[in-house]
Amino acid sequence: MASSVLWRTLGRTKLLPSHSLGRPAGHTEWYRNFWGTSRVFGVAPIKLHMPALSPTMEDGTIISWLKQEGDPVAAGDALCEIETDKATLTMDADDDGVMAKILVPGNTKNVRINALIALMVPEGEDYTQVDIPTETGTPSAAADTPAKAPVPAATEAASSSEFTSMRHVAGGKGHVDLSPAVRYLVDSNSLDPAAIVPSGPHGRLLKGDVLKFLAGDPNAKRQDSVPAATPSPPTPVAAPPPPPPPVTHPVVPPAAAEEDEFVDIPHTSMRRTIAKRLTQSKTTVPHAYSSIDCEMDSVLRLRKKLQGSGVKVSVNDFIIKAVGQALKSVPEVNAQWTGEAVQLLSNVDISVAVATDKGLITPIVTDVPSRGLQNISETVKELAGRARIGKLMPEEYQGGTFSVSNLGMFGISQFSAIINPPQACIMAIGGSRVLVEPAEDGHTTKTVMTVTLCSDSRVVDDALASTFLEDFKENLENPYKAALL
């Protein structure tokens, strides 16, 4: 070996004889090549992190993986199904490659946003030789992993430059590789993508990032770097006194007969979010309640006439249309409280409460005053159907300016609902009932329905609530006059 020189290049090691470097000849020339460097050094992975699929999402449940280890992946392919706080959505691939390692298996709950959940490798690489980082996205691993030391700037820059051909460019507006949904939000709101903090794989900007930015989330805005203040010298602190010796008490097991039997039902992401928002609403929003009785005979006759013509609509469709017309006539109710001002909203988008197996969700019927009754009926049926199977998109249930909750079909005559912030009102609809009233020739009957307006008294006072309910009652009792068709 003394008479030879070892040359190492990427992918091979070559042993050159001495005479090739001007030394005496006579030595045997031979070469040794290593073509399988991936088996020696490993393959650098493309990391897949838990995405933020909605502005209110803090963690999610990975229901199942649609790609398995070794499967080829093209940009745009669905990788896995993720249950958020409101719906079940798919995580799509941003790059071409091969699924190398699934770190968080299906049916894993409480996976935090940006947690590492899987690894891919570029096309042509051996996925079985992928380098597996120590970090994972499982809740237990995230809690047990200690905080890492700061990474030097040179190392961070070097790691971020790897596989730049597989990453999306993060530049100024017009130079970012965005999905159609993100591009629509950015263009329609005249936003600069470079001002929004991305949370997707490889720094990709997601729809949830834009929605958080529009909602005013400070964590979604890029902050200018501020030089860290020079820390003051530490002040010596006296050592605390030694703790007293522990006192042990004998543990007495409870009697078997005294043990209570119960069944734990784990909280879903949707249930946790509903509980959080309901508690926030009841503790921070001053609720006021106003009720009124509406005669339904004209609506029921018109509905029967439409059914005879082949047009199937529900009483709830009439109610949604009547609410939309009333909000157009009394725009002060179509508002929300911001802390700094009361915002009067120009669009009339009504959230309709739909009961699902996982909880209550409120898909939105947009621009109600401009829609016909049959169009409202078809839209509500389509949204409610997808809501029950968890297939709503975030923009279809987030937002809205007013909510309607109807329990009349369940036999409830009257109830009060909880406001869905930042909205200012929700209308609770009870069931119809027949009343008998005396008349000159005996008695008459009429069908009556009680509605209760639950309003934020900071935005809608009692007088304004009365005006709105009177307008709603007029629309519902005179459907032809109110142009509910």
Choosing from 68, 86, 121, the residue where a domain stops is 121
pLDDT in tens for each of the 485 residues of the chain? 444 444 444 434 444 444 444 444 444 444 444 444 545 557 888 889 988 877 777 888 898 999 999 899 988 888 998 888 777 888 888 888 999 899 999 988 888 888 999 999 888 888 888 888 876 555 544 444 444 444 444 444 444 333 333 333 334 444 446 777 777 788 878 888 888 888 877 777 888 888 888 888 877 787 754 444 445 555 555 556 666 666 555 555 555 445 568 888 888 777 888 888 899 999 999 999 999 999 999 999 999 999 998 899 999 999 999 999 999 999 999 999 988 899 999 999 999 999 988 888 999 999 999 999 999 999 999 999 999 888 888 889 888 999 999 999 899 999 999 999 999 999 999 999 999 988 888 788 999 999 999 999 999 999 999 999 999 999 999 988 766 55
Does any domain span residue 215? no
Crossing angle of the two packed helices 207-214 and 180-188, in degrees rounded to 10: 20
| Nearest-angstrom CA–CA distance, 20 and 330 | 94
Does any domain span residue 423? yes
Does any domain span residue 269? no
Instruction: Indicate the pairing of strand 350-352 with strand 97-102.
Output: unpaired
Answer whether 82's CB lies under 8 Å from 58's CB: no
| Nearest-angstrom CA–CA distance, 99 and 120 | 5
| Nearest-angstrom CA–CA distance, 75 and 49 | 16
Please state, in angstroms and as integers, the Cα–Cα distance from residue 68 to each residue in 41, 73, 97, 106, 195, following that order: 24, 10, 13, 11, 35
Tokens for 153?
């700037």
| Nearest-angstrom CA–CA distance, 204 and 201 | 6
Does any domain span residue 421? yes
User: In which domain, by residue range, is 106 found?
Assistant: 46-121
Choosing from 121, 155, 187, the residue where a domain stops is 121
Total of domains in the chain: 2
Does any domain span residue 255? no
Residue 341 contacts by C-beta under 8 Å, 6 or more apart in sequence? none
Does any domain span residue 50? yes
HSE-CB for 61 with a 13 A CA cutoff:
17
Report the CATH number that the domain containing residue 79 is assigned in CATH: 2.40.50.100
Burial class (CB in 10 A: 0-12, 13-18, 19+), 259: exposed
State the amino acid at position 447 in one-letter form: T
Tokens for 378?
């078809």
Choosing from 75, 100, 121, the residue where a domain stops is 121
Does any domain span residue 471? yes
pTM strictly above 0.85: no
Report the CATH number that the domain containing residue 341 is assigned in CATH: 3.30.559.10
Answer whether 363's CB lies under 8 Å from 354's CB: yes
Give the residue carrying structure tokens 């990032």: 209
